[in-house]
Amino acid sequence: MNEPTPIELKETKLYKNWGLTTEEYDYLCADVLKRLPNYTELGIFSVMWSEHCSYKNSKNVLKKFPSSGSNVITGAGEDAGAIDIGDGMAVVFKAESHNHPSAVEPFQGAATGVGGIIRDIFSMGAEPIALTDSLKFGLLEDKETKNLVSEVVSGIGWYGNSIGIPNIAGEISFEKCYKKNPLVNAMCIGLIKKTNLTTSSAKGTGNLLLYVGSKTGRDGIHGATFASDEFDENNSTQKSAVQVGNPFIEKLLMDSCLDLVTNHPNWVKGMQDMGAAGLISSTAEMVSKTGCGITLNLDSIPQRESDMSAYEMLLSESQERMVLCIEKENSSKIIQHFKKSGLDAVIIGEITDNDTYKATFNGETVVDVPVSGIVDKAPRYIRSVVESKRVSSQPSSQYVPEISNLENTLINILKQPNISDKSSFYKTYDSQVKSDTVVLPGGDAGVVRIKETSKAIAVTNDSNSRFVYLDPFIGGQILTLESVNNLISTGARPVGLTDCLNFGNPENPEIFYDFSKSVDGISDICTTYELPVVSGNVSLFNEFEEDAIYPSPMIGMVGLIEDTENITTIDFKNAGDLIYLIGETKDDFNGSEIQTLENGKIFGQLSNLDISKIQENQNSIVQLIEEKLLISCHDISEGGLFTALAECSFKNNFGIDIKTKLNSKQLFSETSSRFVVTVNPSDKLIVESFISGTYELIGEVTDDSEFKIQTADERVNLNKDVAHRSWKEGISCQMK
C-alpha cells in the first residue's frame, strides 16, 4: 500500500478519521514536531493522544482522588496499584473496561478484556490470585441483548477458566440505557513479595528491549481510538478492530514472566504489557517515566502476517505480548528462558539517553519524534461543567411506594432482574481453581485465603448507577460506602480501591458535571476512610447515537482479613439464631428497586448521608466480627431489608420469623449502610452491649417453610419455596 505523504495527510485531513481534531493536528505540527508528521507518526499521535491513552479530558478530575497512604507502595502511573499487607507481601490490583470491544464482538471483546487486566497484574511481577467483574446490559427483552449477555459471560469464563484464575465476585445488572452500550469492567487481584515488585519503566542507556509472547498481526489496529469514539450505526469499519484472545499462550507467558521475576528479580529492569495501542504505547510509556529514549528496529518484530507496515506493527493490538527492559549481559539467558516455554522472545530495540522515539524499518527511519511529545505533551482539556437539568429538576420529595398487596410485592421484588439469582452466570466461572477461595460468588464479597498465613483478601465490585444518575455526588458516596460495607461484613478491613469510570461524551458539559461530581463523591468517602485510589481506568464516549448511559463509576475495593477465622458469610446457619437489623431505616425510596418496580423508572432527589451514624453502624459490625459474635452478616442494598433477609435464608433453606417496628413500605427502603446479622441467642446481651448506634432485634431464623413477617401495619406469611423459586427463576426465565 502506498502511504499518503505528509502534505497529503494535511490536505485530506485523514487525521480526523483517526480521532484527532484540526486544532490538535495543528498543535502537533507547530509545537511538538515543528514539521508535518508522516503517516506512521500521525498514526502514533492519534492513538497516543486519544482519551484512552492520554486521559486528556479526565486527568484534571482524576487528580482529585486521594492516592497516597502509608500502605501504598505504587499508585497511579504503574500498570496496577500495589498495597502493603504486611509480612513482606503486597496486594496488586486494577480494573479495566472493555466496553466498546464487547459491544462489537462480545465473546472476544470480553475475553480479551480479562486477558488484558491479567497482564496488567503479572507485568508488576505479581501472581494473579482472583478475578472479578462488573457487567451492565440493557433489559433482557430482546434476542440481541440476551445473546450479548450470554456471549460476554462465556468470553469472561473462557479466558479466566482456561488460564486458571478463580473468578470470585462481581455484579451484573440490567438497565435500558445500556442496551447499545454494555459495560464490561474486569478486575484482577495479584499477590507478590514486596521486594519482587517490578516497575513498568525502562532506563539505562544501552539496555535492551525484549519482545515476548504472541506474534504481531493486524488485529485491533486503532482499538484505543475506537474506545474513545462514540458509536454510530456505520460501525462496520470498527469491526476490524477486534482482537482475538489466546488464554493458553497467556498462561505460558504469565508463568514464564513470574518464574523469571521470582527466581531472577535482578534480571528484569522493567516490564510492561502491550495493551491498548500496542507496542507504541507500552514502549513510549516505559521511557517517558525516566526521560530516556528508544531506538526500535521494526524488522525484528515477530510477525504473523506478511507485508505489515510500520504503522501496523506499532499500533497492532495483538494479544498476549509483553515488553521487558533487560541488561545486555543477561539477554541470551532470558531469551533461552522464554524459548523453553515455546514463546517468541526477540530483542527489538535499545534504550537511549535522549528524548527521542526512533523506529527504523527496512533500513529507513520511519519514526523520529520526541517521547515527551507522545506522552507528556498530549493535549489537556478542562471541560466545562454545567449542573445537569436531569439532576436539578428531580422532585425533592421522597417517593412513597403504593403497596396494595404486600405478599405480591415481596415476590415481585425477588423476581426483579437486578435482585434475582445470578448463579446461572457465575456458575460458569471457575471460582475455586487454585484451592484458595473461601467465600464463593453470591455473597457480599469474594474471599481468597493466602496459603501459609492466617490472612485472606476480600474483593467487591460495586456500581449502583441509579443513585449516581439521580445525584452524582451522593451516588458516588453511596457506591463507595457499599464497597466498604461489603468488605467489613465479610470480616475484612478495606485497604484501597481501583475504579472504572464509565460515562458518555465529556464534551457535553452536563455529562462532564456527572463525571466530576461523582469523582468528588467517591473521593469524599475515600478521604474519610483513608482509602487510597491506587489505579483505575476511564471509559468515556459511551454513547450510541447520542443516547448516553447512566453515569456509571464502578468501584473495585480490596480488603484485608488478618485472621481467616473472622471470615463471615451472609448465609443463615442455625434455626433459633436471632436476627438483628443494624442501622436506622428511613424512607429512602428514590432510586430504589421498589420505585423501579412500581414505575418502570427512577426519580427524586437523594437524602444527604449522615456519615458519623454510618460509621457507628460499621464500627459495631467490625467489633462484633472481631469478637466472633456474628454467625452471619449481610449488608443491605438493592431491594432493601426484605431482599437481604431472603438472600440470607436461601442457601441453607431456612425460614424466618420477623416482627419489626418498621412499616411494610420500609421493608423496601434502601437507606445506605445497614446490616442484617444473626447471633447465637445466648450472646444476646453481650451483642447488644457492643452495638452503639440504632438497632432492632427483628426476629429469628426458623426451620419453617415460611417467611413470617409482621410489620407495624400488617402480617404476611410467605411460602419459602415460592419465594425461593421466584428469586431463582427471575433471570433464567428471561434469558430463555
Partner 1 sequence: MKLAVIVFPGSNCDKDLYHALKITTNHNIEFVNSDEPNLEGFDGVFIPGGFSYGDYLRSGALAAKTPITKAIKRLADQGKPVLGICNGFQILTEMNLLPGSLIKNDSGKFICDTPTLIVKNNQTMFSNEYKENQEIRLPIAHGEGEFYCDLSTLKNLRENNQIILQYSDDVNGSIDKIAGITNIKGNVMGLMPHPERAIEEILGSKDGIKLFKSIFKSSEVNQ
Partner 2 sequence: MATVKVLVNFKKSIIDVQGQEVEKIADVMGFKSIEAIRIGKYFEIDISDNTENKEKIISELSEKLLINPNLEEFTILEER
Cα–Cα dist 447/486, whole Å: 11
Catalytic residue chosen out of the listed positions 52, 100, 222, 634: 52
Q: Which of 148, 252, 570, 644 binds partner 1 (CB under 8 A)?
A: 252
**Residue carrying the nine cell digits 417453610:** 705
**C-alpha to C-alpha distance for 491 and 527, rounded to whole angstroms:** 21
Q: Is 244 in the site for partner 2 (CB under 8 A)?
A: yes
Q: Which is nearer to partner 1, 266 or 435 (CB)?
A: 435
Q: How far is the CB of 424 from partner 1 (least distance, A)?
A: 9
Among 50, 145, 199, 246, binds partner 1 (CB under 8 A): 246
How far apart (Å, rounded) are the C-alpha atoms in residues 40 and 316? 12
Nearest approach in angstroms of CB 343 to partner 2 is 12
From CA 687, how far away is CA 627, in angstroms rounded? 9
State the binding partner of 428 from partner 1, partner 2, none, CB within 5 to 8 A by kind.
Answer: partner 1
**Measured distance CA(578)–CA(582) in Å, rounded:** 13
Region near partner 1 per CB under 8 A, out of 131-139, 247-255, 478-486, 524-532 = 247-255
Q: Does 248 bind partner 1 (CB under 8 A)?
A: yes
Q: Is 248 in the site for partner 2 (CB under 8 A)?
A: yes
Which residue carries 476480600 as its cell? 458
Rounded CA Rg of the chain: 26
Q: Give kind and range of the element (H or E) at residue 619.
A: helix 611-626
* Nearer residue to partner 1 within complex by CB, 250 or 700: 250
Distance separating alpha carbons of residues 589 and 595, to the nearest angstrom: 6
How far is residue 67's CA from residue 533's CA, in Å, rounded to a whole number? Answer: 5
Least Å from the CB of residue 248 to partner 2: 7
Instruction: Single out the residue of 81, 138, 166, 217 in contact with partner 2 (rule: CB under 8 A).
Output: 217
On the 0-12 / 13-18 / 19+ scale of CB atoms within 10 A, 36 is middle
305 binds, among partner 1, partner 2, none (CB under 5 to 8 A by kind): partner 2
Q: With respect to partner 1, which residue has the nearer C-beta, 127 or 219?
A: 127
> Under DSSP, is residue 720 helix (H, G, I), strand (E, B) or coil?
helix
Shortest Cβ distance from residue 705 to partner 2 (Å)?
47
- Terminal Cα distance for the chain, rounded: 48
339 binds partner 2 (CB under 8 A): no
Which residues, 417 to 436, sit near partner 1 by CB under 8 A? 427-436
Residue 431 binding target from partner 2, partner 1, none, CB below 5 to 8 Å by type: partner 1
- Who's near 236: CB < 8 A, 6+ residues apart? none
Residues 162-201 that bind partner 1 (CB under 8 A): 162-164
Identify which of residues 251 and 390 has a Cβ nearer to partner 1 in the complex.
251
Binding range to partner 2, per CB under 8 A, among 60-68, 235-243, 327-335, 386-394: 235-243
Let me know: does 492 contact 525? Beta carbons within 8 Å: no
Does residue 363 belong to the site contacting partner 1 (CB under 8 A)? no
**Chosen from partner 2, partner 1, none, partner binding at 214 (C-beta under 5 to 8 Å by type):** partner 2
User: Which of partner 2, partner 1, none does 265 bind, CB closer than 5 to 8 A by kind?
Assistant: none
- Could you tell me the smallest distance in angstroms from the CB atom of residue 704 to partner 1? 25
Strand 493-502's sheet: what is its strand order?
437-439, 446-449, 456-462, 552-561, 493-502, 533-539
List the single partner that 588 binds among partner 2, partner 1, none, CB under 5 to 8 Å by kind. none
Choice between 345 and 648, CB closer to partner 2: 345
Residue 139 sits in the site that holds partner 2 (CB under 8 A): no
98 tagged catalytic = yes
Q: Residue 239 binds what, of partner 1, partner 2, none (CB under 5 to 8 Å, by partner type)?
A: partner 2
Determine the interface stretch with partner 2 among 246-254, 384-392, 495-503, 628-636 (rule: CB under 8 A): 246-254
The one of partner 2, partner 1, none whose footprint includes residue 219, by CB under 5 to 8 A per kind, is partner 2
Burial 543-581 (b: 16+ CB within 10 A, else e): bbeeebbbbbbbbbbbbbbbeeebbbbbbbeeeebbbbb
SS3 sequence of 151-216: HHHHHHHHHHHHHCCCEEEEEEEECHHHCCCCEEEEEEEEEEEHHHCCCCCCCCCCCEEEEEECCE
What Cα–Cα distance (Å) separates residue 512 from each residue in 95, 197, 216, 525? 21, 36, 37, 20
Q: Which is nearer to partner 1, 119 or 180 (CB)?
A: 119
Pick one of partner 2, partner 1, none as the site partner of residue 430 (Cβ within 5 to 8 A by kind): partner 1
Binding to partner 2 by CB under 8 A, coded x per residue (else -) over 305-324, reads x------------x------
CB 449 → partner 1: shortest distance, Å?
Answer: 6
Residue 242 engages partner 2 in binding (rule: CB under 8 A):
yes
Contact 183, 542 (CB under 8 A): yes
Stretch that binds partner 2, among 47-55, 242-250, 527-535, 701-709 (CB under 8 A): 242-250
Among 35, 304, 339, 451, indicate the residue that binds partner 2 (CB under 8 A): 304
Interacting residue with partner 2 among 13, 34, 35, 239 (CB under 8 A): 239
Pair 557, 466: CB distance under 8 Å: no
Options 237-245, 276-284, 426-434, 563-571: segment touching partner 2 (CB under 8 A): 237-245
Q: Which of 60, 290, 295, 564 binds partner 1 (CB under 8 A)?
A: 564
| Contact residue for partner 1 among 235, 290, 341, 360 (CB under 8 A) | 341
Query: Which residue in 435, 531, 455 sits closest to 85, CA to CA?
Result: 455
Q: How far apart are CA 736 and CA 732, in angstroms?
A: 7
| Burial per residue of 705-717, b for 16 or more beta-carbon CB atoms within 10 angstroms, e otherwise | ebbbbbbeeeebe
Q: Which 123-162 residues touch partner 1, going by CB under 8 A?
A: 154, 157-158, 161-162
The count of chain residues that interact with partner 2, using the rule CB under 8 A, is: 18
388-425: b or e for each residue (b if 16 or more CB lie within 10 Å)?
A: beebeebeeebbebebeebbebbbbbbbbbbbbbbeeb
List the interface residues with partner 2, window 93-112 (CB under 8 A): 104-105, 108
Least Cβ distance, residue 213 to partner 2 (angstroms) = 12
Helix (H) / strand (E) element for 314: namely: helix 310-315
Q: Helix or strand or coil: residue 278?
A: helix
Q: Cα–Cα distance between 420 and 412 in angstroms, integer?
A: 10
Helix (H) or strand (E) segment spanning residue 537: strand 533-539
Considering only residues 437 through 496, tell me which ones interact with partner 1, judged by CB under 8 A.
437-438, 449, 451
Provide φ and ψ at 454, rounded to 5°: -95, 10
Nearer to partner 1, 116 or 640 (CB): 116
Given the complex with partner 1, which of 332 and 432 has the nearer CB atom? 432
Residue 577 is classified by DSSP as -
Q: Provide the minimum distance between the beta carbon of 393 and partner 1 in the complex, in angstroms, as a whole number.
A: 45
Which of 233, 342, 392, 682: binder of partner 2 (CB under 8 A)? 342
Distance set, CA 146 to CA 155, 367, 547, 731, 735 (Å): 14, 46, 20, 11, 6
Q: Which one of partner 2, partner 1, none is in contact with 491 (Cβ closer than 5 to 8 A by kind)?
A: none
DSSP string, 106-162: HHHHHHHHHHHHHHHHHTTTPEEEEEEEEEEE--TTSHHHHHHHHHHHHHHHHHHHH
- Asked about 52 being catalytic, the answer comes back as yes
Binding residues for partner 1, per CB under 8 A? 154, 157-158, 161-164, 246-249, 251-252, 341-342, 427-438, 449, 451, 564
Which residues are catalytically annotated? 52, 98
Binding residues for partner 2, per CB under 8 A? 104-105, 108, 214, 217-219, 239-240, 242, 244, 246, 248-249, 304-305, 318, 342
